Amino acid sequence: MKLKQKNSILLVGFLLLVWIAYVFSFSKTLEAKQRYNELKQEDELFTSASQNIYSLKQQDAYYNSILSKHQISTESSFQSNLLNTLNVYSQENKLKIIGFKDSHLFQLSNNAIQETYIFTVESNYNSIVKLIYELEQHHKFGKIISVDFEKKKNYKTFNKFLQCTIFLQKVSQE
């Protein structure tokens, strides 16, 4: 055999040996390393999940404290919470609720619903302004978009009184 043939056989034998080594050991080692990395990532997810649960419980407690601070119940509807707040305020401040209409719903483009609540109260100017301030700032029911004051007169008793129609708007996701 000539040297060129010996070198060719040596080269083919070496390539065959590398391929056999890859098939029987290197490929399995690389698969095991990849599987190890996947399991390590899953383990990190599980450990972070317990931390996420703890932080979510803290957020839940915080949001419940805010709801109780603003006297908003999660068991009843928004409208009944608003009516309850109006009744409590009217008893404390000599305010009379004249009317409470059904809410108007408007579908916005991005899966949001705009609800407008219209109600009419009767009292003096200061009590009505305090009610508006309470609803918008302390209870955070929504945004007061319109207030319509109207001075009326009772012709039987010749008394004058002030009525106010309030439009309260709330935007919520579907």
List the pLDDT tens digit at each of the 174 positions of the chain: 788 888 889 899 989 888 888 778 777 788 888 999 999 998 888 888 878 888 888 888 888 887 777 666 555 677 887 888 888 888 888 888 999 888 888 888 778 888 899 999 998 899 999 988 888 888 778 889 999 999 998 888 888 889 999 999 988 776
> What confidence score (pLDDT) does residue 73 get?
59
User: Phi-psi bin for 89: left (phi > 0), alpha (psi -120 to 50), beta?
Assistant: alpha
Helix (H) or strand (E) holding 170: strand 159-173
> What confidence score (pLDDT) does residue 162 get?
92
- Per the prediction, the chain carries an average pLDDT of 85
pLDDT tens for 119-157 read: 999 988 999 999 888 888 887 788 899 999 999 988 888
Residue by residue, what is the 3-state secondary structure of 55-104?
HHHHHHHHHHHHHHHCCCCCCCCHHHHHHHHHHHHHHHHCCEEEEECCCE
Q: Is-above-0.85 flag for pTM? A: no
As given in the structure block, the two tokens for residue 92 are 């404390």
Q: Mapping DSSP to helix (H, G, I), strand (E, B) and coil, where does residue 157 land?
A: coil
Say if CB 168 and CB 144 are below 8 A apart: yes
> What confidence score (pLDDT) does residue 121 get?
93
Quick one: what percent of the chain has pLDDT higher than 70? 95
